[in-house]
Chains A and B, each alone.
Chain A
Amino acid sequence: MILSIELVTGVSLLYIVFLFMVAYYADKKREAGKSIIANPIVYTLSIAVYHTTWTFYGSVGKAATTGIDFLLIYLGPTLIAFSWWFLLRKIVRIAKENNITSIADFISSRYGKSQWLGAIITVIALLGIMPYIALQLKAVSSTFDILCGYPYVQLPLLHGNFPLSLHTNFFAAIILAVFGVIFGARRLVSSERHEGLVAAVAVESVVKLAAFLSVGIYVTYGLFDGFGDIFSRISSQGKLLDHLTTLGGEGETSYARWFSTLYLAMGAIILLPRQFHVMVIENSNEEHIKKAMWLLPAYMFLINLFVMPIALGGILQTGGILGADFFVLTLPLRNGHSWLTLLAFLGGFSAAAGMVMVESVAISTMILNHLLMPIIVSLNPRPWFPRLLINLKRISIFVVVLLGYLYQTVVGETFMLVNMGLISFAAAAQFGPALIGGLYWRRGNKSGALAGIILGFLFWAYTLLIPSFIMSGWLSKSILDQGPFGIALLKPTELFGLAGFDIWTHSVFWSLLFNVGAYLACSILLDQSDRERDQMRKFVDVFKAKANGVPWETKRMSKPVTIMQFVTLMSKFIGEEQAHTAIAEYLGNREINEQGGVSEFELPKLKRFTEKTLAGSVGAAAAGAIVESYLSDLGTRMEPVYDIFSTVQASLAESREALYVRLRASEIMNRTLDLQIIMDDLLNLVLKEFKLDLAVIRLIDGSGMLRVRSYSGKGIAGITGKDWEPESETYIGEAFLANRIQFVNDTQYIAKPISRELMKREGIKSFAHIPIARKGEQPLGIMSVFSKGIVGLFNEPFLNLLESLAGQLAQAVKIVKEMEEKERERAQKERALLDHARVVNEMEIAKQIQLSLLPSSPPTLPGIAIAGRCQPATHVGGDYYDFFLHGEHGLDLVIADVSGHSVGAALIMAETRSVLRAQASSDKNVDAILATLNELLYDDLTAAELFITMFYVRFNTENRILSYANAGHNPPLVHRDGMTTCTEIDADGLVLGVRREVFFEHRSISLQEGDIVLLYTDGITETQNREGEFFGSARLCDILAANRDRSADEVVEAILREVGTFCGEAPQNDDISMVAFKVLSVPSVDDINESPPQMV
């Protein structure tokens, strides 16, 4: 029975449309952020792409011919699943962190992003997978032919002279390739995840399982009566069952083959490019691995459960093992179950389609990234690159599938399905040593991986691929029988005389022996490059990388590159929109400086990010090359940071050297308070510890200039001789104004013209200006360091150290400045105190002198008693009184007040005194004396801007006539004996020193015995108490009246006492002077004795 071609094609097309819709839905969901494939079940089902038509049809074939060893292909993966939580999880973690796109990318990344390694792995994968693809094509076309009979029967028009099965084969190839393009290369994405593809594969896996189980149940329980029935029926057919269910016997599977198949299967589950793709690249969560570890073996168990019954049932039904490969299809077909047959066909088609899709996508990615990209990279990036890349990828998918088709047409029908698959398994096994070694062995290096993989591949090709061509008759059979050129030792299946093994064991033994041997030998003999070591750490230490990586960059860019330049580069390969999204995400939480760029230390990170982003599209090796060549076009390159601390510290935040310098610096600061010594010592320390040529400290001075205060190293006149004004045109000014370190790691690319010229002239390669400032405070100066020899001297930890030294120095400068300030203040105060003391002292002397100018004691004259007092307010005053004897009975009394209480007033007073003494001895009248005095003193008084009030009295003790003249003084009080009131005596006259010519009135009164005359200065009457009340002349008069019986002396004392009481605590504002005389009756000796000389 056959099915109609329309039915089969129609159902197949519907199925394809359904798969496409699933994929489309998954992609849409992903764009909406709700991934439907991010769960462990889908992950497991996608790994089940391991089950190809080989399982679906071939297992039954194998079970029917060689027996139980079909199980090995699945027992191997079950066994290795024990290691997944460590092995697979590590691979997944590394792949995620490095944006790995394929197994070739993974291995080449591990070994220093070697392009050669990537290319070779790609070629091996491409050639190695050829038989496997061929197997799928063969299965699809064969099953199609079985279902529909041979197409020419139904569609004769299509067929000319072509070999019979060409058309179905070729169509199958084209359909599967288109599948690959649709699901895997619709557009270029920056990461190699294809959710649609995975979803389709997962659906296919469900269909596979359902179809196989349906057929299995139908055969076991429909055609027969369960497992026991089948086994007992077969055992009745003689030795067949024993042959199929035992090992190692005559014509049965040998233990050696058993062993090698088991290990090939263990490796294949992860090493086959498509397996690596679905398990590692498409993994969305590490946790999914956990569930897949037992779910996948369970899936494999279920799908294998009915293999044996179907195989045996097929033998029972058909009576032999002919066409055993397709028992799954033929058994329902023979029994007329067309829908079950169709379901089985779809299951087989799913198995093939899933495998070809994933495999071709995985390999085309590898071809694009590792074979084509190195060529593309050497061209200048163009805007149409993204389009070119996606089309190249599509073409690659076709190439992969068509190569399989080619192999199939060449090798044809000679091999059973399962054997063709094993050739691919053996090829994939060649990646094992480099992959596993790369994960755990630190010494494994690029040369080892290259040598191992190449040798392994060559031996694989010679012992497996070539024989497969020979068996198909494509090459001469004599090579197999006698060896090439008749050399028996080189026979492909008995290499170096190793006979007695099956072709698989033989090939696996030799290829892996040389593979592992070369890998180990080269890795041990040869060294790793820096880059390899970097990558090695990323891989081997992936789980601890974050805990203790090198805390700072060990590479720098020789010339700064802007963010935009990186974006431009990225958009050429992944399109503008994606590039902008990526960079925005990256910059999201990073510091951007005022020019819209990132700091020099951020650049290597940005470069790595660019590489990683590009790696998602073009593979790590190509991405590295793209970025590298782009940078070199820009005239920059990565170069190692000068290792200032001589030891790279991987775990400590700070190196020993830095700690030592800090310690020494704080010693220097604490040893002395002499800023000069501190600065000199600090610069010497910096210069000695680091390879610097010159270190300078400039401090800001009072005029706002940065002045050189200290330098160490060979003086450069252009630098050490120059003081700078802080301006942003220079780096030093910028550092000072912005209070931020300014450094140039390569003066070749310096931006500021003034600095460029200077540095060029002096041959400086790199320099840094560090503000001397405490945290959060304005800088006090700049510490500058220069190197003539080293480019790229300043890395993050070094600048941090210098900054902290400058901070310490700022502390010291501040302390010293504060101390100086205090010292100066203290000295100033002291000087002021001294000055004051001197003045006080001199004033005291002046006061003494002045007081001595006043008469020490009043003259004694019969008939009169006199008392005079002066109580100056300050040290020197302007009050003055004097007595002159005039003849035998005449006495002149004078009281004066020079305006002000200054030294000037005192001097004028002294002058007045001398002038007055000269005049008093003359015979002139009192008014004439005042007039003369005015004339004589006028000039001096005008010059000194002073004036004098004066009252001049002349008393004749004989006739008791008092004659007087007044120069603006307050009038004296006269208290007549027996009266209770006082009279004031006054005369016209202007203050001395106001006009040159003044008329003074001359007046006289007659006094009697007991009369008291009081001459005083306004200091008395103008004394104020606390309430602001003046003492006044009335109070004065009362005192006179109250004391009229007392002596003149007592009167004076009483007045002083009263004034003192009146003003209380209030300070004395003005000088107080007075002269009192009392007219006595009879001059007697007693009177004279009663009034002893008085001095205040």
Chain B
Amino acid sequence: MDSLFESLIEIIRRTSAEIPDDVQRAILAALENEKQDTIAKSAMEIIERNIALAKEKSQPLCQDTGSVLFYVDCPVGYDQMEFADAARGAVTEATKRGFLRQNSVDSLTGKNDGTNIGPGAPTFHFHQTRETNVTVRLVLKGGGCENVGAQYSLPNTKLNANRDLNGCRKVILDAVQQAQGKGCGPGILGVCIGGDRATGYELSKTQFLRNLDDENDNAELAELENDIHTTANKLGIGPMGFGGNTTLLGVKILAANRVPASYFVSVSYMCWAFRRHGATLDEAGEITEWLY
């Protein structure tokens, strides 16, 4: 239990302070791709400096340490309630140590008790596996980028978007256009085609667990991902919406079944300060391997 508690604090610390390697590579490429003497270039330079500084000082990349989302793969018989207790304790402790901001507010009273614990906070997604190890992935998703997420119900008359991949393309690009720089671009999109209103958004966020460099198993979705990435970067929205060549760092899409009457496209936007890490834990709760 103590090992698990300490491991979870370390996962939270690392997620808050250290950008994953795959995202770091994409940011450096974006920096090189912006023109000299533009505010887009200087924005990317500040971003690069910020990444280095956060890691060095072991402090949050961004002050909005976001919603705390745990994705846990665990073996049959694993005590999920014990894990959740340890995780809530780790979140409280990580908040005291300044790895997380006091970031959870009672929606009715407006009170922030400073613990980051409450109904729905943090959030747990447990999945059983046949493996013996426990795998913990953590996403810290800030509010600015969460607010520019969008869910579309197709057909959409205004955007002339029908129930096909071209219709999906239109609404996803509309989400990018509406977001402009408000989600702290250059961003990464996680998209779910299908599902219902709840699972659509939930599954869209699982796309942030994918490595930015991976390729979609589905050829049609792989093509759509590349197309949207390329097209979005032609729009000239650029870092922070200052104008420039990099509007998105990546696009990840999955498809889920839907009922015949519904056709949702759910788009989640993740800021450049892409907080996601994960680790495999042994039976004692010690970290054996980092995943990203």
A joins B in a complex: no
Q: What residues make up the interface of A, taking CB atoms closer than 8 Å to B?
A: none
